[in-house]
């Protein structure tokens, strides 16, 4: 079983880079793996199904320490933009907790999918939500093109669509492969 918690906070990038070394050490002290970029921090971890209760307690304690560290550095944790995703295989989805996790003074309910840097991750890492959102975006773009197709040469539309489709398909395939591989690596490292 794995957990992913995305924490959002507001801070300027130059200031944030100065502080990240302390934050990384703090997260690792709790036995989790950090991933930081811009105004986003992610805390990764994994555990056996029988150890989920302990995992949740450690995660809440880690978040409390992160919030304290942020207050000490005049930063603020934005709990309203915090997401929680429990990951497991499709066969073990029923073992995932459905209770809310305490994040500071708020409680965050687990999601079945979260959006992270424009990519949708599912709890079973199937990328189903990402494919659905990408297809919906493609159809929206095609509907817009249909409204202007008479003013654009047909050859241009064919070339543009083939390049655009190839780019979307390649990116989605690479991200799917990387997400499945990174979960294995994260589970082993943590």
Q: Considering the domain boundaries, does residue 70 fall inside one?
A: yes
Q: Which domain holds residue 132?
A: 128-179
Number of domains making up the chain: 2
The CATH number assigned to the domain holding 15 equals 3.30.70
Specify whether 43 is located in the same domain as 106.
yes
Q: Considering the domain boundaries, does residue 189 fall inside one?
A: no
**What tens digit of pLDDT does each residue of 53-84 get?**
899 899 999 989 988 988 888 888 887 888 88
Give the tokens for residue 86: 């429990």
Q: Considering the domain boundaries, does residue 188 fall inside one?
A: no
**What tens digit of pLDDT does each residue of 14-66 get?**
555 566 778 888 999 999 988 877 677 888 888 888 888 899 899 999 989 98
Q: Considering the domain boundaries, does residue 190 fall inside one?
A: no
Specify whether 135 is located in the same domain as 56.
no
Specify whether 26 is located in the same domain as 108.
yes
**pTM more than 0.85:** no
**Confidence class of residue 154 from pLDDT cuts 50, 70 and 90?**
confident
């Amino acid at each position: 079983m794995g957990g992913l918690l995305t924490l959002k906070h507001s801070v300027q990038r130059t200031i944030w880079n100065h502080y990240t070394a302390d934050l990384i050490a703090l997260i690792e002290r709790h036995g989790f793996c950090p991933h930081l970029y811009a105004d986003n921090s992610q805390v990764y971890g994994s555990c056996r199904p029988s150890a989920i209760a302990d995992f949740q307690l450690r995660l809440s304690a880690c978040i409390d320490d992160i919030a304290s560290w942020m207050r000490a550095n005049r930063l603020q944790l934005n709990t309203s933009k915090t997401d929680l995703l429990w990951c497991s295989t499709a066969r073990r989805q029923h073992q995932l907790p459905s209770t809310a996790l305490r994040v500071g003074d708020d409680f965050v309910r687990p999601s079945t999918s979260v959006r992270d840097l424009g990519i949708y991750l599912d709890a079973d890492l199937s990328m189903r939500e990402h494919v659905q959102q990408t297809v919906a975006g493609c159809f929206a773009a095609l509907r817009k093109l249909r409204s202007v197709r008479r003013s654009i040469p047909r050859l241009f539309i064919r070339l543009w669509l083939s390049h655009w489709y190839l780019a979307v398909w390649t990116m989605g395939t690479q991200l799917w492969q990387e997400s499945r591989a990174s979960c294995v690596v994260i589970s082993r490292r943590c």
